[in-house]
Structure 1
Amino acid sequence: MNAKKQIPAKARAVIIGGGVSGCSVAYHLAKLGWTDVVLLERKQLTSGTTWHAAGLIGQLRASQNMTRLAKYSADLYVKLEAETGIGTGMKQNGSMTVALTEERKQEIYRQASLARAFNVDVREISPEEAKQMYPHLNIGDVKAAVHLPLDGQCDPANIAMALAKGARQNGAQIIEGVKVTAVNQKEGRVVSVTCEQDGETYTIETDHVVNAAGMWGRTLANMSGVTVPLHACEHFYIVTEPIGGLKQLPVLRVPDECTYYKEDAGKMLVGAFELKAKPWGMDGIREDFCFDQLPEDFDHFSPILEMAVNRMPMLETAGIHTFFNGPESFTPDDRYYLGEAPELKGYWVAAGYNSIGIVSSGGAGMALAQWMNDGEPPFDLWEVDIRRAQPFQKNRAYLKDRVSETLGLLYADHFPYRQMATARGVRRSPLHEHLKARGAVFGEVAGNERANWFAREGQEREYRYSWNRQNWFENQKEEHLAVRNGVGFFDMSSFGKIRVEGRDALAFLQRMCANQMDVPAGRIVYTQMLNQRGGIESDLTVTRLSETAFFLVVPGATLQRDLAWLRKNLTSDEFVVITDVTAGEAVLCVMGPKARDLMQKVSPNDFSNEHHPFASAREIEVGMGLTRAHRVTYVGELGWELYVSSDQAAHVFEALEEAGADVGLKLCGLHTLDSCRIEKGFRHFGHDITDEDHVLEAGLGFAVRTKKGEFIGRDAVLKKQEKGLNRRMLQFLLKDPEPLLFHNEAVVRDGKIVSIVTSGNYGHHLGGAVGLGYVPCEGESEADVLASTYEIEIAGQRVAATASLAPMYDPKSERVRA
């Protein structure tokens, strides 16, 4: 037995959880010189999920930064062995994914184009070449395959042990057999951790706690009032008896059959991500759980096994050595959680890895350690940021329902616009039933049900997914052209709405926002909140309601993030109250050249330019109700956003609908909002602009006022003005009207891949697919950038594109101000 380790009275950071994630955070903090770090593990290192992970190292992920982190992990695991003397079993034996359908072929070819854009070694191979590399594979129905030679596999438990040893070598302490019973807080920040060892209670003073508790992460977070929505699911694999003559093979994925295959020491491991998973641990995880397996469920696994025997005929005669069922944690959107919890300063999260914990943890630990050290993330990590979690998502009934789907989605077709089928209907607008009755087909973002498109009479009200034109393409076209030529209606009640008020509200917002906030009451200002690097933390409009009150409108998906950013930067001596008022008001948008005609029919107020100019807000009457009318637009047309008290929303909608019959009012969905905004070149936070994208390079310099005085990011703006831009945001229009753009297609400049499309949709007015994306331009003029020849690579095919710096639709915004 090891001698019992002393629990320190103080530490700079306490990490809770000794799986690969916690060990990686400890290792990277220690590497940054945080020697005063302690990791507490309730039982033994790796005893939760890490020890039974399959250890697949796939470097290509869905975005540039997730790929960056996965590549970092692979490089780290190769180096760790030399550094610590512990074998990590890291082998770069490559990986191969095969497609059994035309749709899946399109998906894996799109991923290959993306890999090239991210500088990941990749090639498309024929079924025959796949057979040469993998002689045991039945290729009868294989349509295509993709090979990544630098992918591989490793030994997960040993990687955690090597990270733990590396952390110790750099001064961190790791103590097993310690259960954390409380994270203590004072005035909104972490002050200490209470824990138990052998029946005795200890308290460790600390400023930082890291929740790396895996499937225990939600319960641990709940104790501190922090939201970490995750839930364990059963995850199955089998390991065969040794198979004669079996040599080292690439990792094989057959997503159409929900399976992956890994050769390990002459045996085959066959694992599954079945379409409907089994959630586990509804009543909590029992106290003595340690290196535990769950009961076998052969009936659940046997359909997968039948397909596997057909795919790999040698399995028919191979004996099964192990049937394994172990729990892993899954999140509502299949992405893990990283970062500081918005509810509590100094409370950090690294959990919820959705079966990609081994390949993610090396990079995620590095990124979180940097974030803790610098006070800001090293690059854009929004897709895994804990601030995307909605407070309601910690509800256990919701999680149990949702994770039964998300496990299977890992290997499902990743179609564009794919909607979740489970755990729906939690957050609904006051107009939900009205819109449903009129043919709305809903999508969900951050739990908000939103009308994505409207079905015609007799048309089925569901998605038929495809990489080509989906069944709602013509519906979107009609809605889009109605907005461009007539008048369209959108329900945008899911917008996040924040009131910032009090004596110091103006001074506070002047510091937070890059634009001039000192405007008359009733003015609306489009602005960004920047970080010190000039990157965009938030993209919003601010309406001044009175001398001391301001109304902020942000995307629904970023509301928690924006609230956290505001609260984090508020100083103790500023008299400002920040309130989330999202649910209090619905937002009814009337957009298009006939918007004024409609408004004059439903309201006695004057809607002329003189009385209601662009970027102004005022109270108006509609029907028998009152609303605040904001003259702004996200679709690039004349229009008003009507902010209506939730209890009057249905009445105001009915009044608009009745009056709209004469002017051809068309109900429109979010897909049309998106296609219109892309034609107009408007940016979308999270896709086109992130905290890593400089406001000037994003083409948003028109919303920055450096002369107004100090604000966060001002120095970075001045520096960039002086030095010049490294890249620019361009708009692209495909010359062929057939192909579609969604997101992440490769941008080709003069024959060379230089970047990716950050967002795309079909420009029904412009007559082709339109995308936005950055292009490197160091030392080049605007003319140089536009003089090049551009193409977009879609699933390996290059399509000629026209590029523009100005919006191709209404470049002077004359329609908006009409």
Structure 2
Amino acid sequence: MPDLPRSARVVIIGGGISGCSVAYHLAERGWTDIVLLERKQLTCGTTWHAAGLVGQLRASQNMTRLAKYSVDLYRRLEAETGLATGFSQRGSMTVALTEARREELLRQASMARAFGVEVNQLSPSEIKTMYPHLEVSDIVSGVHLPGDGQADPTNIALALAKGARMRGARIIEGVKATRVTTDHGRVTGVDWQAGEETGHIAATMVVNCGGMWGRDLAAQNGVALPLHACEHFYIVTEAVPGLSQLPVLRVPDECAYYKEDAGKILLGAFEPVAKPWGMNGIREDFCFDQLPEDFDHFEPILANAVARMPILAETGIHTFFNGPESFTPDDRYYLGEAPEVAGYWVAAGYNSIGIVSSGGAGMALASWMDKGEPPFDLWEVDIRRAQPFQRNRRYLRERVTETLGLLYADHYPYRQVATARGLRRSALHEHLKARGAVFGEVAGWERANWFAKDGEPREYRYGWGRQNWFHNSAEEHRALREGVGLLDMSSFGKIRVEGRDALAFLQQLCGNDMDVAAGRIVYTQMLNQSGGIESDLTVTRLSETAFLLVVPGATLQRDLSWLRRHLGGEFVTITDISAAEAVIPVMGPRSRELLARVSPDDFSAEAHPFGLAREIEIGLGLARAHRISYVGELGWELYVSTDQAAHVFEELVSAGEDLGLRLCGLHAMDSCRIEKAYRHFGHDITDEDHVLEAGLGFAVKTGKGDFIGREAVLHKREAGLSRRLLQFRLRDPEPLLFHNEPILRDGRIVGQLTSGAYGHTLGGAIGLGYVPCRPDETVAELLASGWQIEVAGRLIGAEASMKPLYDPAGQRTAG
């Protein structure tokens, strides 16, 4: 019988590099009673056959921060543990075969500079010098990151395991965790099996690092961990005479990467249409296993590779390898505490970047578990972004055929996924579709992003310049600004909080004052103890004891989790009613005129002022009209029972025909909101952005009494701000902004844009971004500096503003 303890502070399930990293970092923080259970042998699932590429530059600043940490960790592990990690900091190189890819690489290079990652742009001749075996006649350009490298995945995992053991963690092989036990929504321990023996370890925390087994393990407890294994192919050549140490090479336009190792070349692929694997579960004896060869599937990649590197034609293949790796619906891994079960933590789903990710992910998760909050904004990998429906295996199987290939596809702005679509549709979906809507997807919701005209293709034509929808969206934007536009925002998350103690509960969680008259709408944030923004929402008081919280569709699970985790003994019920109501924003200077045609109610400023919600008659039915706006114009959001939504839509469209009513998409809304400098959660405001630095102090009422984050707000007010969120407009009307472009103050990079879009009314690209400042620095001093934005290597002069560049006094919404 294995020597297992009866209890532990935490049980980690899975002995790949992820589980070993979590154990190492928890032990490093001084935790004791750590137990890691591995069903077979350490690294036997996916880690052992990973390619071991270690690239620092990721899609955001914080993901890059984690990758850079991994590099530093792998450099020092050998000295600490005595086990070689095989880490070789030989740099990496990515080459472009098209102008579109060149633009992408230039933008990535700009981003790298903003994130403090050393990067060099390369000409074809410089690429040939660094990689002499490469055919460069059709290469347009490239970038080189000297700090990147490669490592031995198995040895890193074993070194992490040894480091954890050195600090007292128990790592036990040959023991399978069969079930996580719970009681009243909290983890109580783990049931295990070793051969014929079974037992239980009591614990209040578990970490699911189960990799491709993780989804099914999580599902036993109703935890959504949406991942699915795919077959991942690479070949290793025979030894190549005279082959010197080379940087890691990526040729994304040919879906290929190359790695020199011990005088051989490893060629791997991220093909456009992948092969899902393990649909019927993974057999019990799976351990250091390979999957069957499929040379026909790999052959197109190899054919391009032989042309790209002619020495491959003269070199034999030593190994044709096919092994499973986990992929997720959005190509981002999962980290954090599952919203469904308290004490159930996750670190899984690494999408073939597990080696570079696991070091930093383990550090971040250990800090999160230790301190009770993440060390910095981790929303893009937060498990709370997972939607319950994503547990569906057919959905996952269809989606991962695409997401594997998206790793090396052109990362065009506004790119939409093509697979597993159409699941969540609003009651207006078919009406919008019939009128030319082109849909995007967020959290499974189909949302009209723009409208094609008769005869135009109803699809995206991607590129780095003005895409095919740009002018359509500009017309929609002008309708919202100058006439009247109609949107569908039924994807909003809608949460009812009600009961005797509902007011007191929300007063404790929200920064603004919730003690308002029934019918009033309050814009607020829910803060953490550091004053960071956990949620950005509106709260409408429906009655003495009932409130409606409206949140972005993408953050609904996060917000529900935040509310429920703070529920103590109060008499409060929290109900997700998102599917019960459609939301039809009617926006623009002529919105009042349109509503008067379909409703007998009074929509004057006196009868229905800004920030008021009330029931109205509309057509043959009823709705709740919220006078509020995310586009910065006069307008109402109509909350309509789903069964009446189509009727209300038809009434509005019919009545608005001679008013020039225009159906508008989310791209137009985004361009309007960024002109007004309205913040977007997850981009402009996150849990590490202090509410005062985000410029949202007007929505915080410290005089109302105690609430989460109040002390941090008072402290920041006294100490002064060290950074501010500014709005920028490019002086050149041609370049486009998306996000992460570097911000330069007087010629020096000081930050990067958090979001960007084209401002059709302001006549140029608009961006928001944080910049450092002195606590005693005046706004006038800050704005008097010379500001530039770097766009694909070009420095573009920019106007900076603290106030919204569009309608700074807010007169448009007050009319």
Question: Does the pair score TM above 0.5?
Answer: yes
Give the AA of the match of 2:485: G
Length-normalised TM-score, structure 2: 1.00
Task: Provide the residue aligned with 1:609 in structure 2.
Answer: 605
Deviations 1:193-250 (A, max 9, x none): 1001121111000010000000001000001110000000000000000000001000
Matches within 5 A, 1:192-203: 192-203=189-200
Task: Provide the residue aligned with 1:390 in structure 2.
Answer: 387
1:137 aligns with 2:134: yes
Task: Provide the residue aligned with 1:325 in structure 2.
Answer: 322
In 1: Cα distance, 2:412 partner to 2:212 partner: 28
Task: Provide the residue aligned with 2:659 in structure 1.
Answer: 663
1:773 aligns with 2:784: no
Task: Provide the residue aligned with 2:571 in structure 1.
Answer: 575
Secondary structure of 1:434's match?
helix
Give the AA of the match of 1:640: W
Secondary structure of 1:491's match?
coil
1:250 aligns with 2:247: yes
1:238 aligns with 2:241: no
Task: Provide the residue aligned with 1:83 in structure 2.
Answer: 80
State which of 503, 525, 528 in structure 2 corresponds to 1:528.
Answer: 525
1:722 aligns with 2:718: yes
Task: Provide the residue aligned with 1:786 in structure 2.
Answer: 783
Task: Provide the residue aligned with 2:471 in structure 1.
Answer: 474
Task: Provide the residue aligned with 1:119 in structure 2.
Answer: 116
Query: Does the aligned pair in 1 maintain the 2:486–2:585 contact within 8 Å?
Result: yes
State which of 590, 594, 599 in structure 1 corresponds to 2:590.
Answer: 594
Secondary structure of 1:467's match?
coil
Task: Provide the residue aligned with 1:55 in structure 2.
Answer: 52
Secondary structure of 1:354's match?
coil
In 2: Cα distance, 1:332 partner to 1:607 partner: 44
1:487 aligns with 2:479: no
Task: Provide the residue aligned with 1:756 in structure 2.
Answer: 752
Per-residue deviation, 1:95? 0.2
State which of 731, 743, 747 in structure 1 corresponds to 2:743.
Answer: 747
Query: Does the aligned pair in 1 maintain the 2:248–2:260 contact within 8 Å?
Result: yes
Give the AA of the match of 2:596: Q
Secondary structure of 2:487's match?
strand
Query: Does the aligned pair in 1 maintain the 2:55–2:67 contact within 8 Å?
Result: yes
Give the AA of the match of 2:149: G
Give the AA of the match of 1:122: V
Task: Provide the residue aligned with 1:704 in structure 2.
Answer: 700
Per-residue deviation, 1:696? 0.2
1:459 aligns with 2:431: no
Task: Provide the residue aligned with 1:45 in structure 2.
Answer: 42
Give the AA of the match of 1:611: A
Query: Does the aligned pair in 1 maintain the 2:438–2:450 contact within 8 Å?
Result: yes
1:692 aligns with 2:658: no
1:13 aligns with 2:13: no
State which of 400, 404, 407 in structure 2 corresponds to 1:403.
Answer: 400
State which of 615, 618, 630 in structure 2 corresponds to 1:634.
Answer: 630
Secondary structure of 2:190's match?
strand
Runs of 4+ in 1 over 3 A off after TM superposition: none
1:174 aligns with 2:174: no
Secondary structure of 1:754's match?
strand
In 2: Cα distance, 1:427 partner to 1:270 partner: 39
Per-residue deviation, 1:663? 1.1
Per-residue deviation, 1:368? 0.3
Secondary structure of 1:816's match?
helix
Per-residue deviation, 1:56? 0.2
Deviations 1:346-383 (A, max 9, x none): 00000000000000000000000000001100000000
State which of 409, 413, 416 in structure 2 corresponds to 1:416.
Answer: 413
In 1: Cα distance, 2:354 partner to 2:380 partner: 16
Task: Provide the residue aligned with 2:107 in structure 1.
Answer: 110
Task: Provide the residue aligned with 1:281 in structure 2.
Answer: 278
Task: Provide the residue aligned with 2:515 in structure 1.
Answer: 518
Task: Provide the residue aligned with 1:378 in structure 2.
Answer: 375
Structure 2 gap ranges (5+):
none
In 2: Cα distance, 1:47 partner to 1:253 partner: 27
State which of 544, 548, 553 in structure 1 corresponds to 2:545.
Answer: 548
State which of 427, 434, 438 in structure 1 corresponds to 2:435.
Answer: 438
In 1: Cα distance, 2:473 partner to 2:731 partner: 20
CA RMSD of aligned residues (A): 0.5
In 1: Cα distance, 2:136 partner to 2:706 partner: 64
In 2: Cα distance, 1:397 partner to 1:580 partner: 25
Length-normalised TM-score, structure 1: 0.99
Per-residue deviation, 1:5? 4.3
Give the AA of the match of 2:43: T
State which of 299, 304, 308 in structure 2 corresponds to 1:307.
Answer: 304
Matches within 5 A, 1:798-813: 798-813=795-810
Give the AA of the match of 1:699: G
In 1: Cα distance, 2:609 partner to 2:147 partner: 58
Give the AA of the match of 2:107: R
Deviations 1:369-408 (A, max 9, x none): 0000011000000000000000000100100000000000
Give the AA of the match of 2:445: N
In 2: Cα distance, 1:201 partner to 1:149 partner: 50
Task: Provide the residue aligned with 1:70 in structure 2.
Answer: 67
Give the AA of the match of 1:26: A
Matches within 5 A, 1:156-235: 156-235=153-232
In 2: Cα distance, 1:272 partner to 1:566 partner: 43
Query: Does the aligned pair in 1 maintain the 2:516–2:541 contact within 8 Å?
Result: yes
Secondary structure of 1:481's match?
helix
Secondary structure of 1:97's match?
strand
In 1: Cα distance, 2:612 partner to 2:60 partner: 38
Per-residue deviation, 1:343? 0.1
Secondary structure of 1:510's match?
helix
Task: Provide the residue aligned with 1:679 in structure 2.
Answer: 675
In 2: Cα distance, 1:754 partner to 1:228 partner: 37
1:738 aligns with 2:734: yes
Per-residue deviation, 1:595? 0.5
Secondary structure of 1:372's match?
helix
Give the AA of the match of 1:618: R
In 2: Cα distance, 1:32 partner to 1:127 partner: 47
Give the AA of the match of 2:170: Q
Give the AA of the match of 2:611: A
Give the AA of the match of 1:647: D
Query: Does the aligned pair in 1 maintain the 2:182–2:188 contact within 8 Å?
Result: yes
Give the AA of the match of 1:740: L
In 2: Cα distance, 1:662 partner to 1:311 partner: 60
Query: Does the aligned pair in 1 maintain the 2:90–2:148 contact within 8 Å?
Result: yes
Secondary structure of 2:300's match?
helix
In 2: Cα distance, 1:174 partner to 1:565 partner: 33
Secondary structure of 2:207's match?
strand
Give the AA of the match of 2:212: M
Give the AA of the match of 2:752: I
Deviations 1:749-785 (A, max 9, x none): 1001111110010000000000000110123111111
Task: Provide the residue aligned with 2:22 in structure 1.
Answer: 25
Secondary structure of 1:806's match?
coil
Secondary structure of 2:290's match?
coil
Query: Does the aligned pair in 1 maintain the 2:2–2:194 contact within 8 Å?
Result: no
Secondary structure of 2:101's match?
helix
